[in-house]
Amino acid sequence: MCTTGMIRLSTGGYVLFKNKDFGRSHFDDRVVLERDVFGVCGTTSWAGEDPSLDQFSGFSVGANSSGLLCCDSNVVTLDEHVNYDIMVEVALRQGTDVASAIDAVQEAVAKKPTSWGNMVLIDANSAASIEIRGTQAVAVSLTGANARTNHHVNLGEHDLQEDKITTIPRFDSATKRLRDVKSVDDVFTLLRSHDNGNTGVCNHALHHTVYSYVLVRENNETILHVVQGQPCKNNRVIVRTIPFANSFNAISANRFISEYPSANKNNFGVAV
Ligand SMILES: [Zn+2]
């Protein structure tokens, strides 16, 4: 279960954020960094207890060199369905902006039933959500600041959705808090918040927040702010510019991977 969202800053930059919530309390990300694409690998086994059984595919959050930012959250994982994380990877590999990413995702989803999820996308000019449900991918334009959790906001709640307990309170809490967000620090205050007893957007019940991500695009640069573990407990935010395009080389890519907070220091992208 995850909380995601986007906001445009008064400085001209724009922000995508995500708390990754997991079935166990510790998780080490795998990341992909290529010349034009950065992605944190997704998992279909997010509720699993045993790290050796983790199954990775697609991206759960990422960015590309065109300035597109994209992430997702689970609604329900279904057998024999394509992982919705694959669609974040499709968006970032084929899209140069929100509109072209929506086209690519809708074309891919129409071909093969996909597990249900919520995608959030933002570029310099527009933002959108895509609600995936089987072969349906419904895109809605987003204005202002928006959050998403683990139910479909536009298609509506459904008996099949996996989280029927925390998704609405987290959505309400994040949506309310976003009204006061003006900076990246404010986004982290939201990601660290506990509005529902001992849990909330920072998740301590049923699932555990294992990473917080804030991607900021400003002045033609994409900056990743990332925390491993529950952000209310770990104040050590790693802030790094993603070395895209002309900044991408063996040294910059290896440095980015080595400084990423994970025990896993392999680059799962193409060899540099
Ligand atoms: Zn917390």
What's the CATH code, domain 2-259? 3.60.60.10
Write down the pLDDT at residue 46: 65
From the CA of 202, how far away is ligand 1's center (Å)? 4
Name the nearest CA neighbour of 78 among 4, 133, 21.
Answer: 133
Write down the pLDDT at residue 55: 87
Phi, psi torsion values for 206, nearest 5 degrees: 65, -55
Given a contact cutoff of 8 angstroms between Cβ atoms, the answer to whether 168 and 179 are in contact is no
From the CA of 99, how far away is ligand 1's center (Å)? 35
Structure tokens at 163: 């989280």
Looking at the DSSP assignment, which residues form a beta bridge with residue 61?
40, 71
CA distance 191 to 142: 20
From the CA of 231, how far away is ligand 1's center (Å)? 6
Q: Which long-range contacts (CB under 8 A, 24 or more apart) does 127-133 make?
A: 127/6, 127/8, 127/14, 127/98, 128/98, 128/102, 129/153, 129/154, 130/87, 130/102, 130/105, 130/106, 131/75, 131/155, 132/75, 132/84, 132/87, 132/105, 133/75, 133/158
From the CA of 132, how far away is ligand 1's center (Å)? 29
Give me the residue spans of the domains in the chain.
Answer: 2-259
From the CA of 253, how far away is ligand 1's center (Å)? 31
Phi, psi torsion values for 16, nearest 5 degrees: -120, 135
Q: Which residues of the chain have pLDDT under 70?
A: 46-47, 271-272
From the CA of 229, how far away is ligand 1's center (Å)? 9
From the CA of 124, how far away is ligand 1's center (Å)? 31
Sign of the four-CA dihedral 234, 236, 239, 240: negative
From the CA of 184, how far away is ligand 1's center (Å)? 18
> For residue 58, what is the enclosing H or E element?
strand 56-64
Write down the pLDDT at residue 166: 92
